[in-house]
Amino acid sequence: MNGHFALLNRLRDGYGLGDFIREEIRKQEAGVRGEDRLVARLNELRLHGEFRVFSDVCLVLDDWKVQIDCLVVTDRCCIVLESKNISGHLYFNEELDEFYKEENGVESPISNPYFQLMRHVRFMKEFLRKTHPLMKVTGAVIMTAKSHRIMQKPTHYPIYKLESMIERVTQIYNSSGGTSFSGEELELVEKLLQENRSDYEYPPLCEHYRIPPSEIRLGVECPSCSELGMRPTGKTWTCVYCNKRDRNAHKKAVNDYFLLINNKITNRDFRKFCMVESIYAASRMLGNMDLHMHKAGGKTYYTKK
């Protein structure tokens, strides 16, 4: 979400994506609120056996990366829960595999959450295959919006309202007979998840939205007045608008570069983006940041740790 705020701040006036980016921010904020409501409701969950709850789980298998809203790992099964905070009248067409919402007389097609759930269920089956091949993996989509109504409910899709989630999870658990896993085995699953968790890496937003980097405004942002265009003066930065001084103002600019332009930055990239003339000053500032330095073919570049 920080990337979208940076994009909104740096996108040149007149490019025409401002309203779209604001809507993307609104959707992301709604998604976070929905996930928080889901996790909070799980505090009410009581099962006969042991279980663990994990939220915002980012995992990688080779080139397969997933971000799962919530996992409930029990002594009988692993339950994937996907939160969808979508308001309005919701319709699922199983025959056409379509999902859309109707609000104020306008129909809007939306990516079917059932297929996202199935991808994550398949991932977890593969993730657990070597250590817990007998653990059943299942799941459900939980609609977390306060103002929504499912007008056309799917017959075969496990899609439920937040208010019924505890009962539905309990039903899934109770119907998952067969192999029972000990507390030690659950601890092994927990250790496996913790060891393999990683930050979910999104592509730079200019790449994602196909925005030419030339449409991104350059400069270091003032932490006081938020204007772009601070100037390096000695070992600090000075705002040309309000005269605020800050030694570390370039760090946010570098982070903006990673979020918007590229996941690696060179000395030349830094000088252009931060509007710095001195190669040596740029090298000093990059070297003092908490970044990985890479050397390849006589060239040096930096990436986030």
Give the list of residues 6+ apart from residue 146 with CB closer than 8 angstroms, or none: 87
**Host H or E run for residue 92:** strand 88-93
Question: Do 13 and 53 belong to one domain?
Answer: yes
Q: Count Cβ atoms within 10 A of the Cβ of residue 39 and give its class: 0-12 exposed, 13-18 middle, 19 or more buried.
A: middle
- Quickly list DSSP for 238-270: E-TTT--EETTHHHHHHHHHHHHT-SEEEHHHH
The mean of the pLDDT values for the chain is 93
Question: Do 190 and 45 belong to one domain?
Answer: yes
Question: Do 78 and 147 belong to one domain?
Answer: yes
Write down the residue that tokens 């570390």 correspond to: 248
**What is the tally of structural domains in the chain?**
2
Quick one: tokens of 162?
């937040």
Query: What is the per-residue pLDDT for 147?
Result: 84
From CA 33, how far away is CA 45, in angstroms rounded?
Answer: 20
Query: What is the per-residue pLDDT for 297?
Result: 82
Residue 201 lies in a domain: no
| pLDDT > 80? residue 200 | no
Question: Do 130 and 46 belong to one domain?
Answer: yes
Residue 53 lies in a domain: yes
CATH number of the domain within which 227 lies:
1.10.10
Query: What is the per-residue pLDDT for 149?
Result: 86
Question: Do 108 and 21 belong to one domain?
Answer: yes
Q: Domain containing 110: what range?
A: 2-196
Q: How confident is the model at residue 208 (pLDDT cuts 50, 70, 90)?
A: very high
Question: Do 240 and 177 belong to one domain?
Answer: no
Question: Do 188 and 224 belong to one domain?
Answer: no
Question: Do 123 and 153 belong to one domain?
Answer: yes
Question: Do 80 and 186 belong to one domain?
Answer: yes
Which pLDDT tens digit goes with each residue over 140-176? 999 999 888 888 877 888 999 999 999 999 999 999 9
From CA 119, how far away is CA 122, in angstroms rounded?
Answer: 5
**Host H or E run for residue 183:** helix 183-196
Residue 281 lies in a domain: yes
| pLDDT > 80? residue 63 | yes
Which pLDDT tens digit goes with each residue over 98-108? 898 888 888 88
Percent of the chain with pLDDT over 70: 100
Write down the residue that tokens 């007149």 correspond to: 14
Residue 203 lies in a domain: no
Query: What is the per-residue pLDDT for 279?
Result: 95
Q: How confident is the model at residue 56 (pLDDT cuts 50, 70, 90)?
A: very high
